[in-house]
Amino acid sequence: MKRIGLADTTFARVDMARYARRALQAAGTGFRLVTRTVPGIKDLPAACRALFDSEGADLCLALGMPGRAAYDQTCAHEASLGLQWAQQVTGKPIVECFVFEGEADTPAALEALARRRAEEHALNAYRLLFRPHELSRRAGEGLRQGFPDVGPVRRVI
Amino acid sequence: MKRIGLADTTFARVDMARYARRALQAAGTGFRLVTRTVPGIKDLPAACRALFDSEGADLCLALGMPGRAAYDQTCAHEASLGLQWAQQVTGKPIVECFVFEGEADTPAALEALARRRAEEHALNAYRLLFRPHELSRRAGEGLRQGFPDVGPVRRVI
Amino acid sequence: MKRIGLADTTFARVDMARYARRALQAAGTGFRLVTRTVPGIKDLPAACRALFDSEGADLCLALGMPGRAAYDQTCAHEASLGLQWAQQVTGKPIVECFVFEGEADTPAALEALARRRAEEHALNAYRLLFRPHELSRRAGEGLRQGFPDVGPVRRVI
Amino acid sequence: MKRIGLADTTFARVDMARYARRALQAAGTGFRLVTRTVPGIKDLPAACRALFDSEGADLCLALGMPGRAAYDQTCAHEASLGLQWAQQVTGKPIVECFVFEGEADTPAALEALARRRAEEHALNAYRLLFRPHELSRRAGEGLRQGFPDVGPVRRVI
Amino acid sequence: MKRIGLADTTFARVDMARYARRALQAAGTGFRLVTRTVPGIKDLPAACRALFDSEGADLCLALGMPGRAAYDQTCAHEASLGLQWAQQVTGKPIVECFVFEGEADTPAALEALARRRAEEHALNAYRLLFRPHELSRRAGEGLRQGFPDVGPVRRVI
């Protein structure tokens, strides 16, 4: 029985973990979810450490929603680097799923984008743990999360 | 009995630790405060290390106030990355609470902003240690520290 | 028998690993390939860790294709730093092979660039493991991957 | 008997370590100085490591003077991050004292600024080791190094 | 008998290691050179690790020549940070010697600049290992590598 960690924030304006949880549960079995909610994205790397160290997670999904201000981009960059270090310190993977508020023009579009991206990253997390061959088979195919796949270059020609 | 570390600076123009301490003491019991004051924000990561290593802190709150100059933003970025490494080296959480002088137009507004943010981050630190379910319950609700909560996207619709 | 790790992504729009694999197999023998495909470039550092730790890789080739948006450059920067940390944590080399979509104007040019660069970086990976003297002999010669070599300064004079 | 490490550079245009040494010796006793001079600011993190590891330093003061060019700011940023890592790897504090050439308009002003900042950072280093309560007492008071203190916000009102 | 590591690249357009080697051999004895050539500057941190770990180097000189494009500056930044981590992981010094193609207007000027800088950094590497007092004696004297020394501020007055 593997354990998947879900780390999310109270700062985000969409409950992305709810969508991720459903997508994971629909994807298959063989895992148990462990979760931790923190205030903001900069707290996600430490949350993942807690999920790895105290909850025995084999992989974490880090869900966050940086705001529209320029400073939010700096925070997201720092959080991303923290997630990279956490992965190197633990040797375990963290799938980062960030949705920037500025990526969508309307609240409805933001909710929809956050939902799709959370679901698709959750599915990727599932594949990383249980079905790596599904990823290998689609290497170089221009897949996207939250937006339509762009496809491989060859098909465009 | 848990220990909460408070690290702050002589560079800051508001005694944010005083507000944080009161908010923590009002939040509940079961912890002891350990503190360290350093010159500037770049000294905060080492201060947190000292609080973790020598004072037995279980979590640190790092309080700082970068100035208005462009270089202060670089310093804040370096301090934030240092705080991320400190968390990964120790495996323990640090709640970063920075207030940029440029975020407020008047001294009174700066004092008020620093107070609110210190209090709200202190409360978050308390929840991380003692009431994680209060954070989980509010995942994705668009909470802010120092400014009014923006709320989740759905309510906006 | 050495092991060379190939890490690539489903985000990329060209199957760069296919080109890299052929170039490696044409270069010589004495190695076995181990592979891992992940969603995006930020997942490559953890993928290399898995190839080093679980698959016994002696060297990894990390293949990725960041998109055209400004944010993709930030992601590439974060991925590159993650690859640097992975190398320092493990003490083993990772050859980074990134092709930015914006480097080519047409799909055909992008496919050709990605192919050449993947092949040339693969050959470099092979030399690092098996023929280091081929690299030493060409130190300072202005070699490029994916574009024509610019040559050493002296020949230009 | 504590040991304070002084790391400085041949790149700097002011002998900041001389001012720092005098300020430390005037501040009190109970410590011995260990020193290392390196070419430039990027060499300071390794110099501090040598002072910690081979000379038994309990704290280091890293003195440097980046030039006026844009690239010097990048170098300073890299050096600062290196100093952050050195602190996290060793668990010991490094007080960074950088003076940018562009901060002063005339040679005399640069010499005066470098002197004041070196002296004030040296005094801070002394307090961190021997009189932490002097720092705690002045938390949030808007202290500066090399320039006049700006004071706390409340006094401004 | 100490060991000095020389790491360089096939990307560079000048054989900087040749100049560095001659300068080291002219500087004195008591050391043996160990070398490694890698494709580009981002491979230098891992090359230094190999020189430290497998070849027993006590210090490394990392020689590289980033190109003129904006992306080359990003690569140089990532390489520099990798070199900082390598130093902190190993506790040993790496002297970084980078020459940006854009620093010189003509091929001849670039060759001359790369030669002078490689020679002067090599001499600094020698001093760090064998004559640290030569560096200490010149602290704060405004020394430069590849360009004329600017001298200390006081002489300018």
Cα B22–chain centre separation: 14
Can you tell me the distance from the alpha carbon of D6 to that of D16, in angstroms, rounded to the nearest whole number? Answer: 10
Residue of D nearest to E139 (CA): D10
Reported as a single tens digit per residue, the pLDDT across A108-138 is 999 999 999 999 999 999 999 999 999 999 9
pLDDT of residue A18: 97
D interface mutation test: which of B22, B37, B55, B87 has the most D CBs within 10 A? B37
Question: Which residues have CB under 8 Å from E23's CB, separation 6+?
Answer: E118, E119, E120, E122, E123, E126
Can you tell me the distance from the alpha carbon of E56 to that of E65, in angstroms, rounded to the nearest whole number? Answer: 25
What count of other Cβ atoms lies within 10 Å of the Cβ of residue B105?
8
Q: Are E24 and E18 in contact (CB under 8 A)?
A: no
Q: Are C47 and C7 in contact (CB under 8 A)?
A: yes
Could you say which architecture CATH assigns to the domain E2-156? Answer: 3-Layer(aba) Sandwich (3.40)
Residues C44-69, mean pLDDT to the nearest whole number: 97
Can you tell me the distance from the alpha carbon of A146 to that of A132, in angstroms, rounded to the nearest whole number? Answer: 21
For chains A and E, having 3+ Cβ pairs within 8 Å is answered no
Cβ A139–C10 below 8 Å, yes or no? yes
Put simply, whether D90 touches B (Cβ < 8 Å) is no
pLDDT above 80 for D156: no
Q: Which of B130-134, C19-23, C109-113, E143-147 has the lowest mean pLDDT?
A: E143-147
Share of chain E above pLDDT 90, in %: 96
Put simply, whether D13 touches E (Cβ < 8 Å) is yes
Could you say which architecture CATH assigns to the domain D2-132? Answer: 3-Layer(aba) Sandwich (3.40)
Q: Are A52 and A87 in contact (CB under 8 A)?
A: no
Can you tell me the distance from the alpha carbon of A59 to that of A129, in angstroms, rounded to the nearest whole number? Answer: 8
What is chain C's mean pLDDT, rounded? 96
Closest CA to A98 of B95, C82, C75, B135: C75
Band of the pLDDT at C156, cuts 50, 70, 90?
very low
Contact list in B for residue A49 (CB cut-off 8 A) is 87-88, 91
Reported as a single tens digit per residue, the pLDDT across C102-133 is 999 999 999 999 999 999 999 999 999 999 99
Contact list in B for residue A74 (CB cut-off 8 A) is 73, 77, 80
Can you tell me the distance from the alpha carbon of A43 to that of A63, in angstroms, rounded to the nearest whole number? Answer: 11
Q: Which of C12, C14, C49 sits opposite A91 (nearest CB)?
A: C49
Whole-angstrom CA distances from D61 to A5, B50, D82, D90, E93 are 41, 17, 14, 15, 18
SS3 of D102, please?
helix
Contact list in A for residue C39 (CB cut-off 8 A) is 95, 121, 124, 128, 135, 143, 145
pLDDT of residue B157: 44
ipTM: 0.96
Reported as a single tens digit per residue, the pLDDT across B101-153 is 999 999 999 999 999 999 999 999 999 999 999 999 999 999 999 889 999 99
SS3 of B61, please?
strand
Can you tell me the distance from the alpha carbon of A95 to that of A91, in angstroms, rounded to the nearest whole number? Answer: 13
Contact list in D for residue B108 (CB cut-off 8 A) is 157
Put simply, whether B128 touches D (Cβ < 8 Å) is no
Residue of D nearest to B38 (CA): D135
Put simply, whether E91 touches D (Cβ < 8 Å) is yes
Residue C42 φ then ψ, to 5°:
-70, -15
The amino acid that residue D64 corresponds to is G
How many residues are there in chain B?
157
Question: Which residues have CB under 8 Å from B145's CB, separation 6+?
Answer: A39, B97, B116, B117, B120, B121, B124
Contact list in A for residue B84 (CB cut-off 8 A) is 42, 45, 78, 81-82, 85
Cβ B141–A85 below 8 Å, yes or no? no
Reported as a single tens digit per residue, the pLDDT across A56-109 is 999 999 999 999 998 999 999 999 999 999 999 999 999 999 999 999 999 999
Q: Are C65 and A152 in contact (CB under 8 A)?
A: no
Reported as a single tens digit per residue, the pLDDT across D76-96 is 999 999 999 999 999 999 999
Q: What is the pTM of this model?
A: 0.97
Cβ B156–A107 below 8 Å, yes or no? yes
Q: Which of A100, A141, A154 sits opposite C111 (nearest CB)?
A: A154
Residue of A nearest to C53 (CA): A91
Cβ C150–E13 below 8 Å, yes or no? yes
First to last CA, chain A: 45
Q: Which tokens go with B17?
A: 């630790």
pLDDT of residue D135: 97
Residue of A nearest to C10 (CA): A139
Reported as a single tens digit per residue, the pLDDT across E51-106 is 999 999 999 999 999 999 989 999 999 999 999 999 999 999 999 999 999 999 99
Residues D58-68, mean pLDDT to the nearest whole number: 97
Can you tell me the distance from the alpha carbon of A64 to that of A62, in angstroms, rounded to the nearest whole number? Answer: 7
pLDDT of residue B156: 47
Q: Are A19 and A114 in contact (CB under 8 A)?
A: yes
Q: In terms of DSSP bridges, do strands A31-38 and A59-64 run parallel, antiparallel, or are they unpaired?
A: unpaired
Band of the pLDDT at C157, cuts 50, 70, 90?
very low
Cβ A49–B81 below 8 Å, yes or no? no
Cβ C85–A88 below 8 Å, yes or no? yes
Share of chain D above pLDDT 90, in %: 96
Query: What angle, rounded to 10 degrees, do the helices at D107-130 and D16-27 form?
Result: 40
Residues E23-32, mean pLDDT to the nearest whole number: 97
Band of the pLDDT at C155, cuts 50, 70, 90?
low
pLDDT above 50 for D12: yes
Q: Which of B9, B42, B81 sits opposite D139 (nearest CB)?
A: B9
Q: Which of E9, E37, E107 sits opposite C156 (nearest CB)?
A: E107
pLDDT above 80 for B154: no
Cβ D139–B8 below 8 Å, yes or no? yes
Contact list in D for residue E143 (CB cut-off 8 A) is 10-11, 39
Contact list in C for residue A100 (CB cut-off 8 A) is 71
For chains B and D, having 3+ Cβ pairs within 8 Å is answered yes
